[in-house]
Amino acid sequence: MEYKACAITGHRPSRFKWKYNENNNGCKRLKRRLKVQLIHLYEKGVRRFYDGGALGVDLWSGELLLELKEQPEYSDIELILVLPFAGHDRDWDPKSRRRLSVLRQHSTEVVIAGTAEHDSVTNYRLRNQYLVDHADCLLAVYDNDRNLRSGTMQTVNYARRKGLSITLIHPDSAAVSYENQN
């Protein structure tokens, strides 16, 4: 059976008002909204989720997907971790590295998009393109108004050019909006 697939992108913790404080009410609200949208996508037939394995939204959504997958009604969720290059987490703090390690262990598949001969900027671009190229839709925690130059912005714009259905969650208000919904 062929599954519909969703790519996930979003900002790193430094972009958020709460930075790395996941006990902040804004972070908790955003995670709840992420979970609701993941369930909504599942109800629309999405079973395969492509996650970029970065700090912040990628890590949180990967953990939420694994939590859902533990429940019998979501046991067919596939988490595909798409990393920019081997060792991209080498400078992370130990707790974040352990969290990514858990995601790697429980993912259906781990893809390394880039190679050592590319610079890291190229590897991140290759990772972001891989995410979109393998998906029918995109779930993005992204501030459309501020238009910050970022990998998240580039991923959202690439998905727009490819005509994907896009669900946007505002990073500050957690308001949800939709583009190109079928």
Per-residue pLDDT, 145: 65
- Percentage of the chain beyond pLDDT 70 is 95
Per-residue pLDDT, 181: 81
Across all residues in the chain, what is the average pLDDT? 92
Could you tell me if 5 and 48 are in contact, meaning their C-beta atoms sit under 8 angstroms apart? yes
| Residue 1 clears pLDDT 50, i.e. is over it | no
For position 170, which CATH number holds? 3.40.50.450
| Residue 182 clears pLDDT 70, i.e. is over it | no
The secondary structure of the chain in percent helix, strand, coil, rounded to multiples of 5, reads 40, 20, 40
Q: How confident is the model at residue 138 (pLDDT cuts 50, 70, 90)?
A: very high
Question: How many independent structural domains does the chain possess?
Answer: 1
Please state, in angstroms and rounded to a whole number, the distance separating the CA atoms of residues 63 and 160.
26
Q: By residue range, what is the domain housing residue 67?
A: 4-179
Q: Give the contacts of 45 (CB within 8 A, at least 6 positions apart).
A: 3, 4
pLDDT in tens, 102-111: 999 999 999 9
| Residue 2 clears pLDDT 90, i.e. is over it | no
| Residue 164 clears pLDDT 60, i.e. is over it | yes
